[in-house]
Structure 1
Amino acid sequence: MKIIDWYILRRYLVTFFVMLLMFVPIGIVIDVSEKVNRMLESKVAFKDIAIYYGNFTIYFANLLFPIFLFLSIIWFTSKLANNTEIVAILSSGISFNRFLRPYIIGASIVSVIALLMGFFFLPRASKGYNDFRTTHLTRKEVRQSTDVYKQISDSEYIFVSSFNYQNKTGYNFNLETFRDNRLTSKISANSIRYNEKDSTYTLSSYTKRTIGSLGDMIEKAPSKTFKFNFQPDDLTPAIYAAETMTYGQLSDFIDKERQRGSANLNSYLVVLYKKYTIPVSAFILTLIAVSVSSMKRRGGMGMNLAIGIALAFTYVFFDKVFGVLAEKSTFSPFVASWIPNVTFGILAFYLLRNARR
């Protein structure tokens, strides 16, 4: 790499990370101002608060990653253009494609970081962030799933009318077993509670009905403990469960859900595909930002930033809309996850071709 490559690459990375260091504390200050009263009321330990804001930093940075990257590139590239540095570089005989090399290298570094964060660190941060909010900040809005009906094996189906993730308790539980498309037994309970110590479930007001050819057998008990072949995550909201899993855990879980014929499969797939689409977006947004800001405009840097903000928020809007569309309908999760990148990839190609001229 030449001196010019190191010069641009250094500014690319430094500006991006400085942008993060500028906006993340602002997000933390706003969050503290909104929640400090609830934290004091809940008497949250300082250690728990520190861990929460560590998770908040990762969660918040990932959420606004496209905007931070886009604005940082536009910012320093516009300064290069206004100082006529880009004109000097291209006038020295360096082609526009060659000028893009340090940008692509910078996008590769950021992409690898985003990939590792999405695979390993973000799930843990997401779980800590959401658990803290549920436990200490939004106790009146407890995270729960309702009307969960799921196949857990070739012959078994479970149902709960609601499941509280915080205390891992479900209500109106049913477990039905079929053989040759005929119901053979049904377990019912007013509530089901998961015991983390030994990974068992305690059923209250337990009833089991076994259907026989000559008559039914009924077994009842005030309380009974079982070890079932499903996990509490099977009863939690689809998106939350998916966001808290590492790549390997999520892949295995999706395979299991696919075999069960889960109705929430699309929600899990959207989370999985976004682990790839977000890193790829680093390249697309880099090319768009360079194309928009590499030439002087009459409005100066302000005009470039205005265009950049509009494009960045449009990208985030596309990403959210198609993600929700895939989760709530039969629209392909793969297509929905990649549409923003494909659309903005075409835009990047068009803007890059004009910039070369």
Structure 2
Amino acid sequence: MTMLTIIDKYILKRYLATFAVMLLLFIPIGIVIDVSEKINKILENKVPFVDVAMYYLNFTIYFANLLFPIFLFLSVIWFTSKLANNTEVIAILSSGISFTRFLRPYLIGATIVSLFALLMGFFIVPKASEGFNNFRYTYLKANGREDMREDSNVYRQIGDDAFLYVNNFNTVSKMAFNFSLEKFKGEQLEFKITANRIKFNPKDSTYTLYNYVKRKVGPLHDVIERAEKKDTVFAFELEDLTPVVYIAETLTLGELNSFIDKERARGNANINTYLVVLYKKYSIPISAFILTIIAVAVSSMKRRGGMGMNLAIGIALAFTFVFFDKVFGVMAEKSSIPPIVAVWIPNVSFGVLAVYLLKNAKR
């Protein structure tokens, strides 16, 4: 029993250490490549050093989370291939340990990595994503501030009986134009408010309406109220009415669930995009288990091509997984495929492959 515990610790240590080294090796390479691509725009826009430093901190978190399944997959193939080439795998299995038992420390490692990735995806990655994307749209993209918004014209239901319209929302001035708010009672219009401009005041969460007109519909005649300028309070936030294109990526789990419920009630056409982000928070950590099993099954046997052949197979499978993940993610956003189905297709497909490879490896 002691020998098995030593083997577990040995493999688990190699599992976590190789994964950490893989991250430490590839993330700096990614940063160097990114700097070489963006240095001209950073210098042209005279971006403060603090903003650049924060961008690359967020860049590290964002891409480590995005690519961790690939890094994990390749790291497992790397160190398991070394075990196989040194005949350590054969020695372990020859001692009477079954292949399923041999997998135990790998699955423990996958559990540790998955839980860490899950917590990161729920709470830390959203803030990193916000900083990463804000920097890109503010400093690196032409017309980035305008492109941040999903739609310049917004018409939405903000309650059971209220509808609102604005256009040309400006993120800097917090101002929109051609505002109108219609309130119904049953099927009858109760009142309508219009204004040439509406400005949100963050300090006290009030709104200033310019060229304000309120028309209250009466049984015999309408009552009209006018003002050049009027301060008032509404039960909505102007920011929520024109969310940035990457808003779902910047929300923690609780915030994202609330946001999706609100946008679903409003009939937002982009709801599938938000659902894809939500479901991936769960599917990506689960992929750690599937890819770990595939990696062990592929690399635990000694091949004629040695470690190079195992790595070649691993890289091909890793990029196939990424291809599946991206293609079905886009299909969920743009087609009628349910997002939960599209997001889980890569895991289900590779899960079947993992079962098949595991059966062959046991033989």
TM-score (norm 2): 0.90
Pick aligned residue for 1:140 from 119, 122, 143: 143
Task: State the Cα distance separating 1:220 from its structure 2 match.
Answer: 4.0
Matched residues in 2 for 1:258 and 1:39: separation? Answer: 38
**Matching of residues 1-357 of structure 1 within 5 Å:** 2-142=5-145, 143-146=148-151, 147-165=153-171, 167-237=173-243, 240-357=246-363
Counterpart code for 2:121: G
Matched residues in 2 for 1:169 and 1:318: separation? Answer: 41
Task: State the Cα distance separating 1:68 from its structure 2 match.
Answer: 1.0
| Deviation per residue, 1:79-131 (Å, 9 max, x gap) | 11122211111111111001101100000000011011011101111111111
| Deviation per residue, 1:308-332 (Å, 9 max, x gap) | 1222122222222222222233432
Task: State the Cα distance separating 1:270 from its structure 2 match.
Answer: 1.8
Counterpart code for 1:306: A
- Which SS does the other structure have where 2:251 is aligned? coil
Judged with a 3 Å threshold, the aligned counterparts in structure 2 of structure 1 residues 316 and 7 are, in CA distance, closer, same or farther, namely same
Judged with a 3 Å threshold, the aligned counterparts in structure 2 of structure 1 residues 295 and 238 are, in CA distance, closer, same or farther, namely farther
Task: State the Cα distance separating 1:229 from its structure 2 match.
Answer: 1.8
Matched residues in 2 for 1:12 and 1:329: separation? Answer: 39
- Which SS does the other structure have where 2:150 is aligned? strand
- Which SS does the other structure have where 1:149 is aligned? strand
Judged with a 3 Å threshold, the aligned counterparts in structure 2 of structure 1 residues 264 and 210 are, in CA distance, closer, same or farther, namely farther
Q: Give the gaps of 5 or more residues in structure 2.
A: none
Counterpart contact for 2:138–2:144, Cα < 8 Å = no
Judged with a 3 Å threshold, the aligned counterparts in structure 2 of structure 1 residues 100 and 156 are, in CA distance, closer, same or farther, namely same
Matched residues in 1 for 2:165 and 2:31: separation? Answer: 40
Judged with a 3 Å threshold, the aligned counterparts in structure 2 of structure 1 residues 256 and 185 are, in CA distance, closer, same or farther, namely same
TM-score (norm 1): 0.92
Task: State the Cα distance separating 1:293 from its structure 2 match.
Answer: 1.2
| Deviation per residue, 1:152-206 (Å, 9 max, x gap) | 1111122334434455443433322222123333333344333322223333444
- Which SS does the other structure have where 1:2 is aligned? helix
Judged with a 3 Å threshold, the aligned counterparts in structure 2 of structure 1 residues 346 and 210 are, in CA distance, closer, same or farther, namely same
- Which SS does the other structure have where 2:77 is aligned? helix
Matched residues in 1 for 2:333 and 2:84: separation? Answer: 43
Q: Percent identity?
A: 67
- Which SS does the other structure have where 1:93 is aligned? coil
